[in-house]
Amino acid sequence: MNILIIGATSAIATASARRWAASQASFFLVGRNKDHLQQIGDDLLVRGASATHHHVLDVNAFDDHEAMIKACFSIMGKVDVVLVAHGTLPDQQACQRDVGLMLREFSTNGLSVIALLTLLANRLESQGSGTIAVISSVAGDRGRSSNYLYGSAKASVNAFCEGMRARLFKSGVHVLTIKPGFVDTPMTQGLALPKLLLVGPDRVAADIVKAVDKGKSIVYTPWFWRWIMAIIRSIPGVFFRRMNI
């Protein structure tokens, strides 16, 4: 199995890759830090991966996307699974004060993902097979005052994936939207998150690998977030705007 991972140095992406490595998968790892990518690649080889390659990319350098994808398909020939895992967790209040910061964060979490998916959809549609798995967030289910910049970027990704899923279904390409809740990663360090709802990246990775294998369209991870977000979506706006969430 040939796997392309964009944002390969993220904790969830690394945990997912380790699970796929056990089945002797081959990897094309994409991220900003060359040394970190090399370390992850070496680790995956020890864990059973048949081959690893890496490519340095700043996802906000849109003009470089095509070259990265061309390099990936040139080396791997066919790609069975794409995992889009990059992202940041912006400071909502800082984004409210700085339009430039707001645009950069929206680009990283929304526009760069959509730009990459546009190119990848065309490639896999021509190939006639494969799975595109995209890590979004439960934050995209409803705009909340505490993180609506991040949530709106993820909501745009969710809507894009839903339409792309319907388009690519006819060509045999599957699209999976992944919606994690609170995950204990370097991105969430320092945040006051409820411990009862906090899980490690390996728990999320297990759900991702399982969802890819089963051909699911949307997966909440852990599973209870589906019901938590159903409750949050059902709260009438007149009450929701008074809540500090």
d(CA 83, CA 70): 16
Q: How far apart are the first and last CA of the chain?
A: 41
Query: Computed from CA positions of residues 91, 92, 93, 98, in that sequence, does the dihedral angle turn out positive or negative?
Result: positive
Query: If you search the block for the tokens 């745009």, which residue do you land on?
Result: 156
Which is catalytic among the residues 106, 150, 220, 225? 150
Query: Does 150 participate in catalysis according to the annotation?
Result: yes
* Whether 32 contacts 55, CB under 8 Å: no
3-state secondary structure of 13: helix
d(CA 69, CA 57): 11
Residues annotated as part of the active site: 150
